[in-house]
């Protein structure tokens, strides 16, 4: 929500929002990795 609020209401760029974007990217990579590992175990 902070990212959306910053972009739409304040017109902030990536230079201001990079901590939130970085945390979201790390969370996405971890979640995708865990999902891929779990799915590959199911196929065996």
pLDDT of residue 23: 92
Whether the model pTM is above 0.75: no
pLDDT digits (tens, 9 = 90+) for 1-44: 777 777 777 777 777 778 888 999 999 999 999 998 888 766 65
Determine the structural domain holding residue 27 and report its residue range. 2-43
pLDDT of residue 24: 93
pLDDT of residue 32: 96
pLDDT of residue 39: 85
Alpha carbon 39 to chain centroid distance? 20
A 10 A CB-CB count for 10 gives 10
Q: How many domains does the chain have?
A: 1
DSSP assignment of 1-44, as one string? -HHHHIIIII---HHHHHHHHHHHHHHHHHHHHHHHHHHHHHH-
């Amino acid at each position: 929500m902070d990212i959306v609020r910053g972009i739409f209401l304040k017109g902030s760029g990536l230079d201001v929002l990079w901590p939130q974007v970085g945390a979201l990217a790390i969370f996405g990579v971890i979640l995708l990795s865990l999902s891929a590992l779990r799915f590959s175990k199911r196929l065996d």
